[in-house]
Chains A and B, each alone.
Chain A
Amino acid sequence: MAAGPTVKELLQAYPDQIRLVIKNYPYKYRDFSKIAAEASLAARDQGKYWEMHDILITRSPKLDRASLIAYAGELGLDVKKFTEALDSGRHAKAIEDDLQLAEAMDLYNTPTFYINGRQVIGERPYAYFKRIIDEELQKAGR
Protein backbone atom coordinates (compact mmCIF):
# COMPACT_ATOMS: atom_id res chain seq x y z
CA MET A 1 0.00 0.00 0.00
CA ALA A 2 1.00 3.59 -0.60
CA ALA A 3 -0.55 6.84 0.54
CA GLY A 4 -0.64 8.51 -2.87
CA PRO A 5 -3.27 11.29 -2.59
CA THR A 6 -2.42 12.40 0.96
CA VAL A 7 1.29 12.70 0.21
CA LYS A 8 0.57 14.53 -3.02
CA GLU A 9 -1.63 16.99 -1.15
CA LEU A 10 1.19 17.62 1.35
CA LEU A 11 3.71 18.27 -1.41
CA GLN A 12 1.34 20.81 -2.94
CA ALA A 13 0.63 22.50 0.38
CA TYR A 14 4.33 22.84 1.24
CA PRO A 15 6.13 23.61 -2.01
CA ASP A 16 9.95 23.53 -1.70
CA GLN A 17 9.73 22.55 1.96
CA ILE A 18 9.36 18.81 1.58
CA ARG A 19 11.55 16.25 -0.06
CA LEU A 20 9.81 12.93 -0.67
CA VAL A 21 11.93 9.78 -0.96
CA ILE A 22 10.47 6.42 -1.96
CA LYS A 23 11.74 3.08 -0.67
CA ASN A 24 10.24 -0.17 -1.82
CA TYR A 25 8.96 -2.73 0.61
CA PRO A 26 7.27 -5.29 -1.63
CA TYR A 27 5.41 -7.75 0.55
CA LYS A 28 6.77 -11.20 -0.24
CA TYR A 29 3.46 -13.06 -0.40
CA ARG A 30 1.81 -10.78 -2.93
CA ASP A 31 2.10 -11.83 -6.56
CA PHE A 32 3.00 -8.55 -8.23
CA SER A 33 4.58 -6.41 -5.51
CA LYS A 34 8.12 -7.02 -6.67
CA ILE A 35 7.54 -6.73 -10.41
CA ALA A 36 5.56 -3.50 -9.88
CA ALA A 37 8.44 -2.04 -7.86
CA GLU A 38 10.86 -3.04 -10.62
CA ALA A 39 8.53 -1.45 -13.19
CA SER A 40 8.65 1.85 -11.30
CA LEU A 41 12.45 1.89 -11.54
CA ALA A 42 12.33 0.83 -15.20
CA ALA A 43 10.15 3.89 -15.84
CA ARG A 44 12.65 5.97 -13.88
CA ASP A 45 15.33 4.94 -16.42
CA GLN A 46 13.24 6.84 -18.94
CA GLY A 47 12.57 9.83 -16.71
CA LYS A 48 9.00 8.93 -15.81
CA TYR A 49 9.24 7.51 -12.31
CA TRP A 50 6.51 9.64 -10.75
CA GLU A 51 4.13 9.12 -13.63
CA MET A 52 4.54 5.35 -13.25
CA HIS A 53 4.37 5.58 -9.44
CA ASP A 54 1.00 7.34 -9.73
CA ILE A 55 -0.43 4.95 -12.30
CA LEU A 56 0.65 1.90 -10.25
CA ILE A 57 -1.15 3.25 -7.20
CA THR A 58 -4.28 4.05 -9.18
CA ARG A 59 -4.46 0.73 -11.02
CA SER A 60 -3.35 -1.52 -8.16
CA PRO A 61 -3.86 -4.48 -7.77
CA LYS A 62 -3.85 -4.94 -11.57
CA LEU A 63 -0.06 -5.17 -11.74
CA ASP A 64 0.73 -8.29 -13.73
CA ARG A 65 3.53 -8.11 -16.32
CA ALA A 66 1.19 -7.48 -19.28
CA SER A 67 -0.61 -4.66 -17.44
CA LEU A 68 2.70 -3.03 -16.46
CA ILE A 69 3.84 -3.10 -20.08
CA ALA A 70 0.52 -1.58 -21.13
CA TYR A 71 0.98 1.24 -18.56
CA ALA A 72 4.45 1.91 -19.97
CA GLY A 73 2.82 2.32 -23.37
CA GLU A 74 0.19 4.66 -21.93
CA LEU A 75 2.94 6.84 -20.48
CA GLY A 76 4.67 7.00 -23.82
CA LEU A 77 7.74 5.06 -22.69
CA ASP A 78 9.93 3.06 -25.01
CA VAL A 79 8.08 -0.20 -24.39
CA LYS A 80 10.82 -2.41 -25.78
CA LYS A 81 13.44 -0.94 -23.42
CA PHE A 82 11.00 -1.02 -20.53
CA THR A 83 10.20 -4.69 -21.14
CA GLU A 84 13.89 -5.56 -21.39
CA ALA A 85 14.57 -3.87 -18.07
CA LEU A 86 11.70 -5.77 -16.51
CA ASP A 87 12.57 -9.17 -17.96
CA SER A 88 16.30 -8.93 -17.30
CA GLY A 89 15.70 -8.01 -13.66
CA ARG A 90 17.83 -4.91 -14.06
CA HIS A 91 16.42 -3.36 -10.91
CA ALA A 92 15.95 -6.52 -8.90
CA LYS A 93 19.00 -5.79 -6.77
CA ALA A 94 17.90 -2.24 -5.94
CA ILE A 95 14.52 -3.59 -4.82
CA GLU A 96 16.23 -6.35 -2.84
CA ASP A 97 18.42 -3.74 -1.09
CA ASP A 98 15.33 -1.73 -0.09
CA LEU A 99 13.66 -4.90 1.12
CA GLN A 100 16.65 -5.83 3.26
CA LEU A 101 16.75 -2.33 4.71
CA ALA A 102 13.04 -2.55 5.59
CA GLU A 103 13.56 -5.95 7.19
CA ALA A 104 16.60 -4.75 9.11
CA MET A 105 14.44 -1.89 10.40
CA ASP A 106 11.82 -4.43 11.43
CA LEU A 107 9.05 -2.80 9.39
CA TYR A 108 5.82 -4.73 9.16
CA ASN A 109 3.43 -2.46 7.32
CA THR A 110 3.15 -0.26 4.26
CA PRO A 111 3.06 2.58 3.96
CA THR A 112 5.54 3.41 6.72
CA PHE A 113 6.88 6.94 6.80
CA TYR A 114 9.88 8.65 8.36
CA ILE A 115 9.35 12.38 8.63
CA ASN A 116 12.75 13.79 9.55
CA GLY A 117 13.25 10.38 11.11
CA ARG A 118 9.94 10.31 13.03
CA GLN A 119 8.12 7.08 12.30
CA VAL A 120 4.49 7.08 11.13
CA ILE A 121 2.96 3.67 10.46
CA GLY A 122 0.08 3.20 8.02
CA GLU A 123 -2.19 5.61 6.22
CA ARG A 124 -3.11 8.60 8.34
CA PRO A 125 -5.30 11.60 7.65
CA TYR A 126 -3.84 14.76 6.17
CA ALA A 127 -4.11 16.65 9.48
CA TYR A 128 -1.93 14.05 11.22
CA PHE A 129 0.95 14.61 8.79
CA LYS A 130 0.39 18.36 8.80
CA ARG A 131 0.89 18.55 12.56
CA ILE A 132 4.24 16.73 12.38
CA ILE A 133 5.42 18.74 9.38
CA ASP A 134 4.50 22.02 11.05
CA GLU A 135 6.45 20.97 14.15
CA GLU A 136 9.47 20.10 12.04
CA LEU A 137 9.31 23.38 10.13
CA GLN A 138 9.08 25.26 13.38
CA LYS A 139 12.15 23.43 14.67
CA ALA A 140 13.99 24.29 11.47
CA GLY A 141 12.97 27.91 11.95
CA ARG A 142 10.92 28.09 8.72
Chain B
Amino acid sequence: MRYPPFLTIMMKQVLICLFALLLSGLAQAEPPRVDVPIGDSPSLGPANAPVTIIEFIDFQ
Protein backbone atom coordinates (compact mmCIF):
# COMPACT_ATOMS: atom_id res chain seq x y z
CA MET B 1 0.00 0.00 0.00
CA ARG B 2 1.35 3.44 -0.96
CA TYR B 3 0.87 6.65 1.00
CA PRO B 4 0.88 10.09 -0.61
CA PRO B 5 4.40 11.68 -0.29
CA PHE B 6 3.43 14.33 2.30
CA LEU B 7 2.08 11.61 4.60
CA THR B 8 5.32 9.61 4.34
CA ILE B 9 7.32 12.68 5.33
CA MET B 10 5.02 13.33 8.30
CA MET B 11 5.34 9.74 9.46
CA LYS B 12 9.14 10.03 9.25
CA GLN B 13 9.05 13.20 11.34
CA VAL B 14 6.86 11.55 13.95
CA LEU B 15 9.26 8.62 14.15
CA ILE B 16 12.25 10.94 14.54
CA CYS B 17 10.47 12.83 17.34
CA LEU B 18 9.67 9.60 19.17
CA PHE B 19 13.27 8.47 18.88
CA ALA B 20 14.55 11.80 20.24
CA LEU B 21 12.13 11.57 23.18
CA LEU B 22 13.34 8.06 23.96
CA LEU B 23 16.98 9.19 23.90
CA SER B 24 16.36 12.15 26.21
CA GLY B 25 14.50 9.83 28.59
CA LEU B 26 17.52 7.53 28.73
CA ALA B 27 19.80 10.50 29.34
CA GLN B 28 17.72 11.58 32.34
CA ALA B 29 17.76 8.09 33.84
CA GLU B 30 21.57 8.23 33.96
CA PRO B 31 22.66 9.79 37.29
CA PRO B 32 24.81 12.92 37.14
CA ARG B 33 28.53 12.19 37.49
CA VAL B 34 31.34 14.36 38.77
CA ASP B 35 34.88 13.95 37.52
CA VAL B 36 37.14 14.21 40.59
CA PRO B 37 40.88 14.35 39.85
CA ILE B 38 42.67 11.62 41.81
CA GLY B 39 46.21 13.00 41.64
CA ASP B 40 48.61 11.63 44.23
CA SER B 41 45.95 10.90 46.87
CA PRO B 42 46.22 7.78 49.05
CA SER B 43 44.45 4.87 47.44
CA LEU B 44 43.69 1.24 48.13
CA GLY B 45 42.79 -1.42 45.58
CA PRO B 46 43.62 -1.88 41.89
CA ALA B 47 43.87 1.23 39.70
CA ASN B 48 41.76 -0.50 37.02
CA ALA B 49 38.98 -1.51 39.43
CA PRO B 50 35.51 -1.14 37.85
CA VAL B 51 34.36 0.97 40.82
CA THR B 52 36.29 3.92 42.20
CA ILE B 53 35.13 5.42 45.49
CA ILE B 54 36.55 8.82 46.30
CA GLU B 55 35.94 9.76 49.90
CA PHE B 56 36.38 13.29 51.25
CA ILE B 57 37.04 12.94 54.97
CA ASP B 58 37.74 14.93 58.07
CA PHE B 59 39.37 12.88 60.81
CA GLN B 60 38.06 15.07 63.63
Contact = CB atoms under 8 A, between A and B. Distances in A.
A60 B57 CA distance: 12
Contacts of A110: 56-58
Tell me the interface secondary structure of chain A in the complex. mixed
Given A2-B59, A24-B57, A136-B51, A49 B46 contact: no
Contacts, number: 148
Interface string A17-33: 11111111111001111
A22 B57 contact: yes
B42 interface: yes
Interface residues of A, number: 58
A107 B49 contact: no
A82 to B, nearest CB: 16
Interface of B: 31-47, 49-60
Given A3-B55, A22-B43, A110-B58, 11 more contacts: A2-B55, A18-B53, A26-B58, A26-B60, A27-B60, A101-B36, A111-B57, A111-B58, A113-B54, A133-B51, A136-B50
